[in-house]
Structure 1
């Protein structure tokens, strides 16, 4: 029988290698109720090795000595040593004692956060993120509760890899009404955002023998990375004032091209009607595929948005979008509508990739759309983002006179080309970083963009309140002049 006590055991060091901290780790286990004391001791020893408190090569005291110091039975210690030796945490040599094994490597405490952050930045103008504070928490929570009350148990099984039927029907109606898409719910696939849609297309195209696709230059660097994951290379194709330049595309030899025709990323132009028509002519003549990334097609502030290209020829256009800009990217909900000849291959790939998106999240989005919550959210975002775009263009005009803002009044970012006196670009970017302003220049988005010698910036505004936009531009202007001013918001600010 084991005994227990409240007095701490004396410090014992056997061969000078078993440090006193080990006793401190084992004391709670020794004080556990008798029926659980053996398991508690094993668990405490195991954790001491995992955490690095007992490093490899440490010699443990004999079972008799440790039992005496912990005031437990020798049998408990012997059993613990034998169990951890069998698991590989300890090693034992006849006549030589018991040692901490070198097999186990201490675990790294905590979990790193690899989400993109502008660490240390006071104002972050990098594009791509909406205002996450606009996420409709109350309405979403109410919808979630409603869905959980009515959702049948069977809906919690493995879903249709295309997505829940009610969500595909809701999305088809939404996209037909708002974006002019020809949307058959049977061909619509719910994805983990546009990123997964591109990856799915990449795998299917690779399976058909394709090894290169065209991308806009300048364009989104993510497209290249996503297709690379499917072993498909990309070739940059230049733009002009009307959209993707037709002749370089026709000469390139590619049979698939990724486009952002409603609001080109990052230049901000909308493809002209003539260029959209010629692009479709190319697809029909080559039996090619146009991949339409409609990443922010609902956000146009001066007129109704241009309808989706897919509505003109659904057999040659694969259409994709998501709620990442309208609700939140963390939801990881998007959609892919591909030509009918590709649907079965896409669904098969989606099945093997993840067996489908979470059923409850899909059901919530379906009800949110059907109940009018999604349309209300779009109107709310449009009002806020239009105000912020106006604040950014006005503030740039004040602090950087002569700045050229290009692109249509749409989306979540602008292109700002500063007057020539604000170059060279590397110096400008270094000064901005020193002032605590996170930026991305247009040259980050393609080789064609880098030929412009002016400082050209891709400035996101959706995630910033108007007062933060003003502060950020003031910081930029002061950083270029090298002048200092009073404190604003608790930190030294240049004006």
Structure 2
């Protein structure tokens, strides 16, 4: 008889377990070509399962060609189904679940994650239902690469009102997030040159995208006022300049008007575009909203935005506001990338904006994030005193903390993980290494007040333990 392990407590259906085990034995060569399998009745009796379970498993194996049925003779293993590759396909019940390396109660200070538990799911569900009931035929078929007109119209009004972005709806292309937008920009502007000017530090993901498209990076250092535009080499002829002027990532600076003007003048003289990434400036806690760089020169600036921070990361909707000269090329590249961003999601988001829900949601979350920001600042100051400096906390959902006498080496990060807290060094996003070893990015958007306070306490304990270890090593 054929022995097969069956787990009746598993979420996997019994027929799928039988199929998986037999398939694995065939691939491993434990069952050989031409070998006869037990009858479905015999196997069902041996495994104490319904015969229908065995029939379903055999039907699936037969459909995939692992077995063949011979009239009046039985069911046999197909010749040539053995794959001679060790450990290629482990039997289902022999697989061991990999436990996560971190603790279950890990407090993660990852930036860029909004308060997921406060997303208005019921409201979104009602809007989804209304949209689907009224769904136009154009949204049920293949759509246009630039996105739904309803969303582009709503966006153009919102961006002018809140961000000072001047554009016609036809200048907007809806993307599947900022990552896709950056890839399209890289493909679009690659012909202009193979060098791109970026802030230093800047998110490592952005660096990876540009480098993967064949660009070399020209890093310009960032200070408390953002990119130091006076350090841009005047003879540099980049394909484009990439900046986060409203809330520099990760340091949090806001680019002042003089530097904005300097940047535009450089772009005009170099005949290049500026790519403005405005990823989370809706959440500004001190002073009025900052106007976009795009509003100073719509012909020269490509403006990028996303709903990952204000709505949900999983929504995967972003947008580009383009100079008229680039629109047709970008539409073609978007079509080649994925044809179009899902239309129904666009319509729901358009309704969310038009009905005022988006403004109310942002206003509500702004108050909550301000309170979380204040909690984190207060906890850091109480816990670390004058050993910590805090900056970049006026906007967004993260801040940067600079610690005296500590560098965020792998040993320190491992010690923090051991204490159940995860932080993110600024140095990971630095291009010219070695200048920001004692700085950490601390995101707070998806944490509660209690977890923030506990996380800071764990950070302090981990740093204290690491300092003690260092002193012992120096003594020895």
* TM-score class normalised by the smaller sequence: 0.7 to 0.9
Structure 1 contact 262–305 (Cα < 8 Å) conserved: no
Q: What are the within-5 Å matches in structure 2 for residues 275-314 of structure 1?
A: 275-314=259-298
Partner Cα distance (2:23, 2:37) in 1? 24
Change (3 A) 1:167 1:147: same
Matching residue within 106, 111, 117 for 1:122: 106
Residue by residue over 1:2-37, the C-alpha shift from the partner in whole angstroms, topping out at 9 and shown as x without a partner, is: xxxxxxxxx4xxxxxxx3439x99xxxxxxxxxxxx
- Displacement of 1:215 after TM fit? 1.6
> Gaps (5+ residues) in structure 2?
8-14, 45-56, 70-75, 467-476
Q: What are the within-5 Å matches in structure 2 for residues 43-442 of structure 1?
A: 48-52=21-25, 55-56=28-29, 58-59=31-32, 66=39, 88-89=65-66, 101-103=81-83, 106=89, 120=104, 122-206=106-190, 208-251=191-234, 252-402=236-386, 403-420=388-405, 422-423=406-407, 425-442=409-426
- Displacement of 1:194 after TM fit? 0.8
Partner Cα distance (2:154, 2:30) in 1? 62
SS of residue in 2 equivalent to 1:154: helix
Say what the alpha-carbon RMSD is for the aligned residues: 3.5
- Displacement of 1:477 after TM fit? 1.4
Change (3 A) 1:58 1:430: closer
> Gaps (5+ residues) in structure 1?
1-10, 12-18, 26-39, 72-79, 484-495
- Displacement of 1:266 after TM fit? 0.6
Partner Cα distance (2:194, 2:23) in 1? 46
Residue by residue over 1:19-74, the C-alpha shift from the partner in whole angstroms, topping out at 9 and shown as x without a partner, is: 3439x99xxxxxxxxxxxxxx9xx99965543447742523776698589579xxx
Q: TM-score, normalised by structure 2?
A: 0.81
Partner Cα distance (2:394, 2:129) in 1? 38
SS of residue in 1 equivalent to 2:169: coil
Partner Cα distance (2:123, 2:37) in 1? 64
Matched residue, 1:472:
455
The number of residues matched between the two structures is 433
Structure 2 contact 115–445 (Cα < 8 Å) conserved: yes
Rg (Cα) greater in structure: 1
Q: TM-score, normalised by structure 1?
A: 0.79
Matched residue, 1:491:
none
Structure 2 contact 27–89 (Cα < 8 Å) conserved: no
